[in-house]
Amino acid sequence: MTDSDGTLVETSVHAPPERVWSALTVPEEIRQWFGWDYDGLDDEIRFIFVDHATPRPPDRISMSDGSELRLDPDGDVTRLSAVLPAPADDAAAAEQQAIAEGWRTFFAQLRFLLECRPEGQRRTAYLTGTGTGRDLMAVLGTAGSTEEWFHSPRQRIVVDPDGRLLAATAERPLDDPEPGPVSLTVSAYGIDDAGAAHLERVWAARWTPLAAGTESIM
């Protein structure tokens, strides 16, 4: 979706604007929905949301890449948007498409945090590899009965029976029969180190047979 400013990514969050604002500006809260666990996550959050962002309370955050995050109250919900600048050329347009898909994933994870209010700290299993959208959907199918949380042509995000958020994304459209880069982020809250290690083992076993060039990060 686009508007006069460029590419627009938006979602509606059933939470007041001040709660959404806090989730976008307090590093400890950003960690609960942004990205996935790895050694440099805290530094990345500080780089993007602190050192290279300009908050304009109560409803705008200007980012160093020229994009802007916007909050707009809409009845009982807050409409959250990321407005990306118009790309200068085809290469920039392709890069912006990837950035937009990233925001779609992160907004879905933020909405899950604020609407479902899971207890405890977030832990993740993050897996990457090469496969088709069909392969990716087969991986999600191993989770059993799931509730759909978000979908777009290149991703599907669901909640599994244990209340974990599973975000499956692909560089190509999910209905494209050609393989390409794919990834899965599993977000679990309130588990200890042993539970996190178990989560990693379970999903690595499910993922490995279905995607070539697999990597996992816990």
Q: How confident is the model at residue 210 (pLDDT cuts 50, 70, 90)?
A: low
pLDDT of residue 3: 46
**What pLDDT digit, counting tens, does each position of 23-49 carry?**
999 999 999 999 999 999 999 999 999
| Domains defined along the chain, listed by start | 2-116 (3.30.530.20), 122-217 (3.30.310.50)
- Phi and psi for 78 in degrees, rounded to 5? -115, 125
What tokens does 27 get? 């590093």
pLDDT tens for 52-80 read 999 999 999 999 999 999 999 998 999 99
pLDDT of residue 5: 47
Which residues sit opposite 68 in a β-bridge?
Answer: 62, 83
Establish how many alpha carbons lie within 13 A of residue 155's alpha carbon, considering only the half-sphere containing its beta carbon: 26
Strands (E), 14-52: none
Q: How much is the CA Rg of the chain, to the nearest whole Å?
A: 17
Cis peptide before 58 (omega within 30 of 0): yes
Q: How far is CA 111 from CA 25, 50, 154, 173, in A?
A: 15, 21, 19, 23
pLDDT digits (tens, 9 = 90+) for 94-143: 888 899 999 999 999 999 999 999 999 999 999 999 999 999 999 999 99
- For residues 157-165, average pLDDT: 97
Tokens of 151: 């979908």
